[in-house]
């Protein structure tokens, strides 16, 4: 197998994308925040569009993704297979460009962000900051391998904001009942991480070998059965949301 090809976003999501929309269901609170940032945009390009989560209902949206599997699940009619670094559109083609939890997959982050600025007058990017603390308990207690992987592929929000020349950076604390199953979604629902279907819908879990994941999940299951997880994290159980470093960046006009 071509190891480099296996690590590309298209290869990753061609592998994990089947059934992706069953677990990664858009959360209405994040949808409202992104919708507010896109307000007034009549034409939008969604780069790394996946299944179309968080796209505005009142705009003409063009979906761009390097994965045929993901585009096949996208409900829109304007779908383009392409990477963020070479968007096949003329300068200023769109009122806005959006990119939701995707910039960490781009082989050349700065080139991709430059393309967003080239093809659209406004840029809306939702991403995660690897420098933020506290971090999810899953990483510290069970899977530090995720921490190392995330630090290697995510760029700090400060650097992304600088590259975009973002004028607004808005924190998005994750609600305890968040419906979109990305990594921190289940911070107050640890039993969800026991489900292999839930884990498979996340690109980080999907890239770790079973020899790493399975013993860690076995330890989590044992801690849940014994009640030790709940004793260690009693402070989390009464919280309605947690700030784990997710941010919405807005640039342009």
Instruction: Output helix, strand, coil percentages for the chain, rounded to the nearest 5.
Output: 45, 20, 35
List C-alpha distances in Å: 118 to 13, 51, 122, 163.
Answer: 26, 24, 10, 13
Encode pLDDT of 121-157 as tens digits. Answer: 999 999 999 999 999 999 999 999 999 999 988 999 9
Average of per-residue pLDDT values in the chain:
90
pLDDT at 24: 65
Buried/exposed 30-58: b ≥16 CB within 10 Å, e otherwise: bbebbbebbeebebbbbbbbbbbbbbbee
Encode pLDDT of 161-206 as tens digits. Answer: 999 999 999 999 999 999 998 889 999 999 999 999 888 877 788 8
Task: Taking the CA atoms of 158, 16, 74 and 63 in sequence, report the sign of the dihedral they define.
Answer: positive
- The answer on pLDDT for 19 being more than 90 is no
Confidence of residue 107 (pLDDT cuts 50, 70, 90): very high
- pTM (predicted TM-score): 0.88
For 65, the token pair is 């993704």
pLDDT at 11: 47
pLDDT at 79: 97
Tell me the average pLDDT across 104-117: 96
Confidence of residue 21 (pLDDT cuts 50, 70, 90): low
Break the chain into its structural domains and give their ranges.
3-252
Confidence of residue 4 (pLDDT cuts 50, 70, 90): very low
Q: Which CATH class is domain 3-252?
A: alpha beta
Q: Which residue has the higher pLDDT, 68 or 204?
A: 68
Residues 70 and 20: beta-carbon distance below 8 Å? yes
pLDDT at 205: 84
pLDDT at 157: 98
pLDDT at 22: 56
Tell me the average pLDDT across 44-69: 95
């Amino acid at each position: 197998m071509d190891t480099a090809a296996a690590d590309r976003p298209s290869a990753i999501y061609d592998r994990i994308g089947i059934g992706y929309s069953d677990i990664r269901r858009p959360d209405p609170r994040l949808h409202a925040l992104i919708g507010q940032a896109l307000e007034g945009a009549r034409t939008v390009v969604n780069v790394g569009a996946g299944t179309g989560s968080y796209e505005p209902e009142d705009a003409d949206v063009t979906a761009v993704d390097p994965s045929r599997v993901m585009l096949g699940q996208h409900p829109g009619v304007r779908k383009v297979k392409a990477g963020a670094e070479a968007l096949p559109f003329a300068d200023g083609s769109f009122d806005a460009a959006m990119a939701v939890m995707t910039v960490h997959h781009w082989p050349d982050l700065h080139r991709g962000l430059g393309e967003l600025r080239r093809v659209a007058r406004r840029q809306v990017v939702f991403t995660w900051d690897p420098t933020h603390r506290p971090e999810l308990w899953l990483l510290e207690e069970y899977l530090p391998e995720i921490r190392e992987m995330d630090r290697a592929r995510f760029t700090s929000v400060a650097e992304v904001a600088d590259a975009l020349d973002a004028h607004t950076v808005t924190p998005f604390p994750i609600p305890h009942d968040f419906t979109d199953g990305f990594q921190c979604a289940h911070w107050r629902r640890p039993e969800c991480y026991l489900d292999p279907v839930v884990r498979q819908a996340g690109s980080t879990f999907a890239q770790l070998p079973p020899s790493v994941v399975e013993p860690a999940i076995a330890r989590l299951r044992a801690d849940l059965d014994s009640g030790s997880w709940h004793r260690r994290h009693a402070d989390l159980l009464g919280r309605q949301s947690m700030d784990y470093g997710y941010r919405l960046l807005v640039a342009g006009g």
